[in-house]
């Protein structure tokens, strides 16, 4: 009788020992829990990575929005600058036309007496069709000049530049050469070729220092230096305009542009 429990315990123990681990209910549950835990860890890691990527994307979006805002601001500034350039050019072209008193020729050239008559170094253009005579261009010169001038009025700046350069090359001593040189500078200026514009305006000042184009040429040279951020040179040039031509429109415009140069940058 005493031996029976011992035999039963031995049989049960033998039965448990013979059960494979992969069929053990406890082990199966442990394995299942381990699998679930690993899946949860992977999901958690993915969520953390996604959150980091989302933060990175949001940061990039903020940076892009900032760049877009900056570009829009710069574009608006450039558009305003371009409008100002065109407005200034249109005013000068209108002044040149009104100086002719409604005459047919370009660049301030009246159909009757020259608008710049009597001015030192004057380069006024008489009406198209006038023949060669002292102080007056030939009809050919006038026609070539008018073609370039009309292109400038139409804002065909590349055509105008080519036309004025060809004119100056073909007729360097023409009474219209001064005007052609000045308007060449204007065409370069509105086309943002400031280096070439400065060279053209300096040529006016060097070849025709006492002409009626000199104040405007000196003013626009200062504008060109300002556009190139050569503030020291611009300050000197614009101050010279106010000193040499007090009370003129050129002097007033020079003073306005001088006020836009910060003192520290104007040294």
Q: What is the pLDDT of residues 136-184, one digit of tens each?
A: 899 999 999 999 999 999 999 999 999 999 999 999 999 999 999 999 9
62 — phi, psi (to 5°)? -65, -40
- Report how far residue 159's alpha carbon sits from residue 247's, in angstroms, rounded to the nearest whole number: 35
Please, which residues bridge with residue 203 across strands? none
CA dist., res. 141 & res. 31, Å (int) = 101
Residue 204 has pLDDT above 80, yes or no: yes
- Between helices 214-227 and 194-207, what is the axis angle to 10°? 150
How many CB atoms lie under 10 A from the CB of residue 250?
22
How far apart (Å, rounded) are the C-alpha atoms in residues 152 and 146?
10
CB neighbours of residue 21 within 10 Å: 9
Report the alpha-carbon distance of residue 216 to residue 244 in Å, rounded: 12
| Global pTM value | 0.61
Residue 117: φ, ψ to 5°:
-60, 135
Average pLDDT over residues 249-261: 94
In angstroms and rounded to an integer, the radius of gyration of the C-alpha atoms of the chain is 42
- Rounded to an integer, what distance in angstroms lies between the CA atom of residue 136 and that of residue 127? 9
**Apex CA 115: angle with CA 215 and CA 91, to 5°?**
55
Distance CA 10, CA 255 (A): 115
Q: Which is nearest to 223 in space by CA: 263, 266, 194?
A: 194
- The alpha carbon of 164 is separated from its chain's Cα centroid by a whole number of angstroms, namely 25
3-state SS, residue 208: coil
Q: Which helix (H) or strand (E) holds 111?
A: none
Predicted local distance difference test score (pLDDT) of residue 133: 37
- Residue 136 host element (H or E): none
Say if residue 116's pLDDT is above 50: no
User: Among 3-17, 31-45, 61-75, 139-153, where is mean pLDDT lowest?
Assistant: 3-17
Please say whether the structural domain 85-97+122-265 has been given the CATH code 1.10.150.20. Answer: no
- The dihedrals phi and psi of 106, each to the nearest 5 degrees, come to -95, 165
Could you count the other beta carbons within 10 Å of the beta carbon of residue 230?
A: 17
Confidence of residue 248 (pLDDT cuts 50, 70, 90): very high
As a whole number of angstroms, the distance between CA 189 and CA 206 comes to 19
**Total number of residues shown for the chain:** 267
């Amino acid at each position: 009788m005493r031996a029976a429990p011992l035999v039963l315990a031995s049989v049960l123990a033998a039965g448990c020992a013979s059960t494979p681990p992969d069929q053990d209910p406890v082990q199966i549950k442990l394995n299942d829990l381990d699998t679930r835990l690993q899946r949860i860890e992977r999901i958690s890691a993915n969520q953390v990575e996604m959150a980091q990527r989302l933060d990175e994307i949001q940061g990039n979006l903020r940076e892009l929005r900032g760049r877009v805002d900056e570009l829009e601001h710069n574009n608006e500034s450039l558009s305003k600058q371009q409008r100002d350039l065109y407005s200034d050019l249109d005013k000068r072209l209108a002044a040149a036309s009104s100086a002719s008193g409604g005459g047919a020729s370009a660049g301030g050239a009246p159909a009757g007496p020259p608008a710049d008559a009597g001015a030192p170094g004057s380069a006024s253009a008489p009406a198209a069709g006038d023949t060669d005579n002292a102080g007056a261009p030939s009809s050919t010169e006038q026609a070539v000049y008018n073609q370039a001038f009309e292109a400038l009025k139409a804002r065909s700046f590349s055509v105008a530049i080519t036309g004025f350069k060809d004119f100056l090359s073909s007729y360097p001593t023409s009474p219209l050469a001064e005007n052609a040189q000045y308007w060449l500078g204007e065409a370069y200026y509105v086309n943002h070729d400031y280096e070439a514009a400065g060279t053209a305006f300096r040529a006016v000042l060097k070849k025709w220092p006492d002409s009626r184009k000199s104040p405007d040429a000196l003013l626009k040279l200062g504008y060109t230096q300002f556009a190139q951020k050569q503030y020291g040179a611009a300050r000197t040039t614009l101050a010279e305009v106010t000193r040499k031509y007090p009370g003129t429109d050129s002097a007033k415009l020079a003073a306005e542009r001088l006020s836009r140069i910060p003192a520290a940058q104007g040294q």
